[in-house]
A and B are shown apart, each in its own frame.
Chain A
Amino acid sequence: QQQVKQSPQSLIVQKGGISIINCAYENTAFDYFPWYQQFPGKGPALLIAIRPDVSEKKEGRFTISFNKSAKQFSLHIMDSQPGDSATYFCAASSGNTGKLIFGQGTTLQVKP
């Protein structure tokens, strides 16, 4: 019940296209859903985060869509650029520990 399932495992998108990564969870106590971007040899960096009281959040080219009833959330990267090529992780946490449960990751390659 603590798992966060992420798909696809890898994704190839043309420059200017839309990248979409999906995550699903089981634990209804989760109340914070961040997305992290990680480049090789670096630690994860927060991209955007959402709480379950809103269905969508947009920051620049990055949008989170959240479906509470389906227990799913997704990251959309608009106008994808080669510099977006990285591994993306969804995560979730609940309550007073802040312990993040991460998905398995999606390796995104944006072709020029």
Chain B
Amino acid sequence: GAGVSQTPSNKVTEKGKYVELRCDPISGHTALYWYRQSLGQGPEFLIYFQGTGAADDSGLPNDRFFAVRPEGSVSTLKIQRTERGDSAVYLCASSLMGPGTEAFFGQGTRLTVV
């Protein structure tokens, strides 16, 4: 596709359940980022991949959150034992070369934990 694709666009889950959010970056982009955006706030950094490795995971709030990018393309954000406070829009972005280059964002996955 032409842009960053995120699936699903909406996800409603029950408290305590496990969820996976998927990101398909722009083809050829080596850098991939996950952000979380709460209502009325700016996006908040979660994790940055350069290729297959997590170069910076300092934004992951706790050990319930985990992300992988096994082949250096598609990434999955995994949240265990979801809590109501995890409800937010999860945004994925990719960039061609990484730091200081334009990051293209997907439309996000709206996660609602009930």
Contacts and interface: CB of A to CB of B under 8 A. Distances in A.
Interface of A: 6, 31-32, 34, 36, 41-46, 49, 51, 89, 91, 93, 95-105
Contacts of B98: 96, 98
B40 A105 contact: yes
B45 interface: yes
Interface string B85-104: 00000010101001111111
Contacts of A31: 100
B31 interface: yes
A34 B106 CA distance: 17
Contacts of A46: 102-104
Contacts, number: 69
A41 B89 CA distance: 9
Contact of A98 (B4, B58, B91, B95): B95
B1 to A, nearest CB: 14
B62 interface: no
Interface residues of B, number: 29
Report whether over half of chain B's contact residues are helix, strand or loop; otherwise say mixed: loop
Nearest to A2: B45
Interface of B: 4, 31, 33, 35, 40-45, 48, 55-56, 58-59, 91, 93, 95, 98-108
Contacts of B58: 99
Contacts of A105: 40-42
A98 B105 contact: no
20 contacts: A31-B100, A32-B100, A36-B105, A41-B107, A42-B107, A42-B108, A43-B107, A44-B43, A44-B91, A44-B105, A49-B102, A91-B42, A93-B100, A97-B55, A98-B95, A99-B58, A103-B42, A104-B42, A105-B41, A105-B42
